[in-house]
Amino acid sequence: MKSILLLATIFVVMALNVFAQKNCSNDSTGLIPLIDLSGKSWRGFIGGLYPDGTNLRPSAHKTKALLQAQNIKLLDANGAISSSGKIVWIGVGASNPRTEFMRFSNQMDTFGLKNPALKLINTCIGGQGIQKMNSQDDNYWKQAEKQLSDSGLTNKQVQIAWIETDNTQTGDTTFPQAPQMLIQDFKTLLISMKQLYPNLKLCYITARAYSGYADASAGATAGKGLLYPRDYLNGWAIKWLIESQINGESGFEFEGASASIPFITWGTYNWADGSVKRSDGLQWLCDSDIGEDGLHLSTAGEIKSGALMFDYFTKDETTQAWITGQVSTDVNMDNFSSDDEISIMPNPTSNELTIRGVKGNRAVNISNILGQVVWSGEVGNEIKIDTHAWAVGIYLIRIGENGLVVHVSR
C-alpha cells in the first residue's frame, strides 16, 4: 500500500509539471494596455483608466477621495477614535495578490516614514476567486477575521483595502459581456466588504498582470477564469466599475442614504502585453517574471509588482494624509530659540517650497523616501526652494534635529 501511495504522489506531481507549464513563445498579443489607450478606443469603447479617456482622477472623484482619506483616523477595537488606535489596511485576493501584497508589505516595513499606527494585514488566500468571497459567510472572510484577530485587530479597525481578483470559474471572454459580468461580481464583493468592515473608507482595485504565458491546461488547476484574455478584460471591468460610481449609477453609491459599497478608485494597473513595454516601461518577461505554470509570478515578478505598489502608494495623493501620519506643518520647537517661528509652506507643494522663520543660519537637509538627499544648505530667516524637478512623493525636511514630512504633488 505504501508503494502505491508513493507512486500516486509522484504521478500527480509529474502531471502538474507536464500539463501546467508556461509557453514563452506567447510573449505578446497585440492588445494595448488601458493606460496607453488614453483618448483612444478599442472595439468601440474608449480607453484610459477613467472616464473620457484619461488616466488621471477626475476632479470631483479626486476631491471625494481626498475627503475619504482625511476621515481616516486612529481607531480602537470597537471602531472608536483613539490616540492609541490603529489604521488597518487589508489585502484581498488569491495567490498572486497574496505574494504581491506580501512583497509590498515588506517594502513598507523598511519605509522610514511609515505611520507607526498603520497595519497591513494580508488576507489573501490561494485559490479563492471572487466567487468564493462574495458572501459574508464565505470561509474567506472567516479566515480574514482570524488574520486580524491574530494581529490583535478587529474588523472595525479596517479602513483601507487593496483588491486584486477575478472570477476563476468562468471562461467567458466575450467583449463587453465578460467584463460587464465581472462588474456585478465586484459589486457583490464590495457590498459584503462594506457590511463586514463598517469603517472601510478607501478601496484600491488593481488590474491583473499578463497571463498569456499560461497554456490552456493551467486553467484546469488554477481556474479557466485566470487565462488570457481574461487578464486583459479584468482591467476593463475595473475601469467600468469605478466609472459606475463616478457617474452615480444606482447600486454603486458610497455616500448618502442609499450607500451600499465603499469608495473605490484605481490602485496599480498591472497589465502589460507580455514582453512589449508599456509607455511607462512596464513589461512582463517570461523567463524572469513568471513562474513555471505561466500564471503565478516568480520571486522576481512578485518583487516587481510589490515595488510598483510601493512606488504608487507612497506617492499617490489619496494616501498622503495617513500613510506617514497626518500631514502637518507644525515643527517641534524644542531645539530652537524662543525667537524662532518656523513655517514650511505650502504643504503639499508643487513647484516651490518656502521655509521661513529660522533665526540665524541653520543646516537644512531634504531627502526622499529612499534617503537620498535632494537639497541641502543653510537657511536663515527665509528661503525659497525650487521643487519643480522633484518627483511626486514624500520628502523629509530636517532642520537641525527636527524633522517634518512634506509632500510634493502635481
pLDDT at 182: 99
Identity at 86, one-letter amino acid code: K
pLDDT over 90 at 327, yes or no: no
pLDDT at 262: 98
pLDDT at 401: 59
Give the residue-averaged pLDDT of 239-261: 97
pLDDT at 250: 97
Distance CA 113, CA 125 (A): 29
pLDDT at 378: 84
Of 106, 200, 194, nearest to 161 by C-alpha is 200
pLDDT over 90 at 15, yes or no: no
pLDDT over 90 at 9, yes or no: no
Split at pLDDT 50, 70, 90, the class of 403 is low
The predicted model scores a pTM of 0.82
Split at pLDDT 50, 70, 90, the class of 394 is confident
pLDDT over 80 at 409, yes or no: no
Identity at 100, one-letter amino acid code: E
pLDDT at 338: 42
Q: What is the pLDDT of residues 42-55, one digit of tens each?
A: 999 999 999 999 99
Which letter does DSSP use for residue 57 in this model? Answer: P
Which of these ranges, 132-136, 260-264, 359-363, has the smallest mean pLDDT? 359-363
Distance CA 100, CA 297 (A): 9
User: Which range is most confident: 144-158, 313-327, 354-368, 373-387?
Assistant: 144-158
Of 186, 182, 184, 218, nearest to 205 by C-alpha is 186
Distance CA 350, CA 391 (A): 10
Average of per-residue pLDDT values in the chain: 88
pLDDT over 70 at 334, yes or no: no
Q: What interhelical angle do 177-196 and 230-246 show, nearest 10? A: 60
Q: What is the DSSP code string of 352-397?
A: EEEEEEEEEEEEEEEEETTS-EEEEEEEEEEEEEE-TTSPSEEEEE
Give the residue-averaged pLDDT of 87-115: 96
pLDDT over 50 at 1, yes or no: no
Written out in words, the top-level CATH class of the domain with range 343-408 is mainly beta
Q: What is the pLDDT of residues 117-175, one digit of tens each?
A: 999 999 999 999 999 999 999 999 999 999 999 999 999 999 999 999 999 999 999 99
Between 278 and 347, the more confident residue is 278
Give the residue-averaged pLDDT of 260-281: 98
The structural domains of the chain, with segments of one domain joined by +, span: 19-315, 343-408
Q: Is domain 19-315 classified as CATH 3.40.50.2300?
A: no
Burial of 328 (0-12, 13-18, 19+ CB in 10 A): exposed
* DSSP reduced 3-state for 143: helix
pLDDT over 60 at 11, yes or no: no
pLDDT over 60 at 225, yes or no: yes
